[in-house]
Every structure is written in C-alpha cells, then in structure tokens.
Structure 1
Amino acid sequence: MQINLRFRFNLYMVFACVFSFSSCRTYNQNIMFKTSGDINMEKLKQSLATVERNYIIQPNDYIDVRVYTNRGERIFDPNGELPFGAPGVSNNQGGATRSSSRTQRSTQGSQSYYNTEFLVQHDGTVKLPMVDYVKVTGLTLLQTDSLLQTLYAKYYVEPFVSTHVTNNRIFVLGANGGNVIQMTNDNMNLFEALAQSGGVTREGKAHNIRIIRDYLDHDPIVQVVDLSTIDGMRKATLYVEPNDVIYIEPNQRLFFELLRDITPVINTFVGVVSTYLLIKNL
C-alpha cells in the first residue's frame, strides 16, 4: 500500500512538472491587449478636453426626439391628467428594435403617443417627421434641442424639444466576462462602468485595468489604470468616452488550473498502471 501511494504521488509530481513547463503559454492565451505601459499619451492628453465636455452627436448615433407643446407643459402635467412623460415613454429595453408606439386613453378621448429613435446618417443628417432632413452632427444635445424647437415652431405652439443619444455604450471585458454598459450621462467615469459590470472581483487584477480608446483608427490610446492604491487612482484619467473598451486582466491561478486539467489524465493513467501491476503480481 505504501509503495502504491508513493507511486501515485511521484506520478502526480512528474505530470505537474511536465504540464507546468509545456502549458504556461496555453493557459495565457485568454490574456488580451498585452502592453508594458501606456500607449499614445499625447493623444490621451488631447482627448481629455473632449471627454469632459458635453457629447457631440456623430454619424450612426440613434437619437430619441421628444416634442412637447406649450413649452413642455405635458412633462409636468399640472392638472394630473396624463402619466408622467407619456408622449416620450420608451418601451425599448435594450433590444434590436429602435422604435415603439403606445396608445394612451384620457378623459378627452383617445390619443396616440409615439417614441421613435432616429438614425443619424453618414452625412450627418437625420430624417424627422414633418421637418424632414436636419443636419445634427457636430452639435451638442442642447444645441440640437434649440435647432429643432425653431423648426417645429412652424407646426406647434411654443414647442419644447428634448433629445438624447440612446446607443452610447462602453465595453467591459476580461475577468468579469463581457458586459455592454449603456452610458446614462455624458461624463460617465470608470467607477460607474465597473460598478455596473460587477466591480473588480477576485478573478481580476485591480492594478492592471486598461482603458482602450480610438481602437478603430489603428492607432489606439491605451491607459493602464492601477486601482489597487489611492496614488494609482489619482494618477489615472478616470473619465470614459462612448465605445471605450475597459479590460480587467484576469488573475491567472496556474497551479489550480493545471491541477484541475491533469487530474483526470493522471487518475486514468494510475488506474491502468495499478491494474497492470495487480495482474502481474497475481
């Protein structure tokens, strides 16, 4: 029995050593965006001015346009006759559908309210009901509101327009799997995105979080953020932009992963050898 146990232990050690030397590269294949430090710091400094300002509408954005009459009287509904924000209530819960409609009945009769998201074309224009094509790229949301209020004044009494971009998002990859975080405000920061994706778990490295920006231009900005210390947090730029990639490097537990993978192989091999030795002794 002692010889058999010693034999099993020796086999485990031999297999562990062999796998540790031959499989290190294999177990690191899931590590993405490897870098020794920040990349394109000059471009990062230039982008800081744009991160902290109000969002500028760009081609391929989806904008939700809500038009109210009488300077937005329906938004506040002083008489309590309408549900809050009824003309612009969105039923879209993140699916592929970009338009929805609903019917609301009131004491005055039947009324239909529509909430539609409109795509900004590649030339910077968006086609809206009644006013047709309007160029909105290069404008902030407030500037777009003012422009549309002027255009809709031809059809409504003292219109109030509210627009917002609905497809701004951030991608969180790495230790937490993959998450797409919808941006709820213009100046979203790294902590908000991490909190919505589940935070930095024990599987992730808090000292190696990478923010990747402008990756479609083949000259990306990469910032390595160290959140394991207060000093590292102070040195980092924590604001994020739409379409940023936040990568949390996984914490590799090589020994346990090797042990988990080689245990079935070793058990099978030991079983075969033990059976052979038993038959030979008999």
Structure 2
Amino acid sequence: MKIKFLGLVLLFVITSCASKKEILYLQDATENNSSEITYQTATIQPNDILKITVESLVPEAAIPYNRGGNSDVQVNSLELIKLQGYLVTNEGTINFPILGQITVSNLTALEIEEKIKKLLIDGGHLNNPTLEVRLVNAKITVLGEVNAPGTYNFTEQNITLLQALGYAGDLTINGKRDDIIMTRDVDGVRKITHIDLTSTAFMDSEYYFIKPNDVIIVNPNNPRVKNAGFVNNVGTILTIASLVLSSIILLTR
C-alpha cells in the first residue's frame, strides 16, 4: 500500500512540473538567428489623443493653429499635453482650429501631417508650414500569468511584443509561452491571434511589433491549471505526502 501511495505522489509531482520545452523562449534561435526587420507604422484610431504642432516662417502666423496659444511654450507634463491634445472621436475626426472637422482615422501620423499641411496651403492660411503629429496616449494592456499585469503607456513609435511583456515584468513560470493571445482592433474589426514565443516564427509576422491598444493575454500552462484549487508547490506536496505516509505507518503497526 505504501509503495502504491508513493508511486501516486511521484506521478502527481512529475505531471505537475513544466518541461524545459514549455518554458524556454525562441528555442529555434540557433537555426533562425538572422532576419530582416520590417517596421510598422500604426494608424490612428478612435479615442487616440494627438499632439499637433504647426510652425511657420512667421511664428506669429502659426499661433491660431496651435492649441494652447504660442507653440514656443514648452510643456513638460505628459498629462497636460494630453489635455491640450486632439481627441479622435468615434467617427474618426478631430476639431482643428480654423479648419474645423478633419477625418484622421486609419491614417498614419505622417499622412495626417501631409493632409493638414495641404489644407493650410490650399486654403491660403499659411505658406509652407511645418507640422508635427504625435500620438501621446499609446498604451497596451497585459493580463494573465505575468509578474505585473496592467496597462502601460509608451512613447516609442515601435515596441516589440517581447518589450511589452518586459513592461509587465515577464511571464511567470506558470505562463503558457506557446499560446499567447493578442487582440487587436484594425479598421473597426477586432482580430484575435495566437502567438508561440517558443519559436522565432512570430518575429517575421505582423504581430512582432505592438500597436496601440493591443491586449496581450497570457494563460496558465497545463501544470498550473492542474494545480489550480489544490496545491501548487512541490514542497507542499512532499510535506503532505510525508504526513500521510507517517500516519499510514503508525496505523498499520
């Protein structure tokens, strides 16, 4: 009876442990250690906040086209920049000074710069203006088996999936590395994809770089699921097994 019990405990411990294949990233990196990087440019979506700066050869002429008045005033607070920015409506428009409603949804920042510049020139507002458009509320959300789940802001134009997971403190040992779920809204359509971090293949896909408002979900791996609601520590398992075995020995004497 004791041998059977120990066998069952050993079997449980073995099946509760994650294998090396389940926890290592980029396991084929030796074979695929070089590839060309294709950078991506995010398009503007509803609820994005844009900082738009207009400059002219005559600085005073550009003042009416800048929120907050004189564009030479330096604003260092990101929250204040957001408050002075242009919120993209659900219809994909912004209300720009003098020019009124402008559709910006599904355009890149560079395309918006060119569009507003053309409107200013064609309308006789400014001659050869210079524009800068920046997305100031870019964020991603990371949930599940990571050390610090939450929503994170970023200012870089391109960050990778691995960098995003780094913001969240990396996956826990219980994270399912071969099936990361990502949701992404594109042109009003929500896309859900599954990503395998144990392979380098995802680095050549459109999901290598994060886009604003992406949601990353890390589900628990099989050992974590099996242990849910029971015990999730090998030391605890061995302690319980020792107590049960001692009780059996005492009772069978």
User: TM (normalized to structure 2)?
Assistant: 0.56
Corresponding residue number in structure 2 for 1:241: 211
- C-alpha contact (below 8 Å) 1:66/1:88 kept by paired residues: no
Q: 1:161 aligns with which of 131, 139, 145?
A: 131
Out of 33, 43, 47, the position equivalent to 1:60 is: 47
Q: Does 1:205 pair with 2:181?
A: no
Q: Return the offset for 1:243.
A: 2.3
How far is 1:164 from its partner? 1.6
- 1:127 counterpart SS class: strand
Match of 2:103 among 130, 135, 144: 135
CA contact (8 A) 2:48 2:135 kept: yes
**Is residue 160–residue 209 contact of structure 2 (8 Å, CA) maintained in 1?**
yes
Which residue matches 1:125? 93
* 3-state SS in 2 of match to 1:194: helix
Of Structure 1 and Structure 2, the greater strand share is in 1
The TM-score with structure 1 as length reference comes to 0.51
RMSD: 4.5
Distance 1:53 1:210 in 2: 20
CA distance in 1, matches of 2:151, 2:49: 16
Correspondence list, 1:1-282, <5 A: 53-70=40-57, 87=73, 89-93=75-79, 98-99=82-83, 116-152=84-120, 154-156=124-126, 158-176=128-146, 177-214=148-185, 220-225=191-196, 227-230=197-200, 237-251=207-221, 252=224, 258-259=230-231
Q: Partner amino acid for 2:99?
A: V
Residue 193 of structure 1 deviates from its aligned partner by: 0.9
CA distance in 2, matches of 1:64, 1:53: 20
Change (3 A) 1:255 1:166: same
User: Do the aligned partners of 2:176 and 2:218 also contact (CA within 8 Å) in 1?
Assistant: yes
Percent of residue pairs identical? 25
Q: Paired residues, what number?
A: 191
Query: Partners of 1:221 and 1:149 in 2: how far apart?
Result: 36
The higher radius of gyration belongs to 1
Q: Whole-Å Cα distance in 1 between the matches of residues 212 and 92 of structure 2?
A: 18
Question: Residue 223 and residue 129 in structure 1: after superposition, are their counterparts in 2 closer, same or farther (change >3 A)?
Answer: same
In the alignment, the residues of structure 2 paired with residue 158 and residue 235 of structure 1 have an alpha-carbon distance, to the nearest angstrom, of 39
How far, CA to CA, are the matches of 1:249 and 1:119 in structure 2? 33
Distance 1:216 1:70, change over 3 A: closer
| Structure 1 runs, 4 residues or longer, greater than 6 Å off | 215-219
8 A contact 2:96–2:102 mirrored in 1? yes
Provide the residue aligned with 2:26 in structure 1: none
Partner of 2:19: none
Deviation per CA, 1:170-198: give whole Å up to 9, x if none.
21111125221334344432112112221
**Preserved CA contact (<8 Å) 1:71 1:159:** no
- Which runs of 5 or more residues in structure 2 are unaligned? 13-37, 60-70, 237-253
* Deviation of 1:234 (Å): 5.7
Quickly say closer, same or farther: Cα 1:98–1:125, change in 2 above 3 A: same
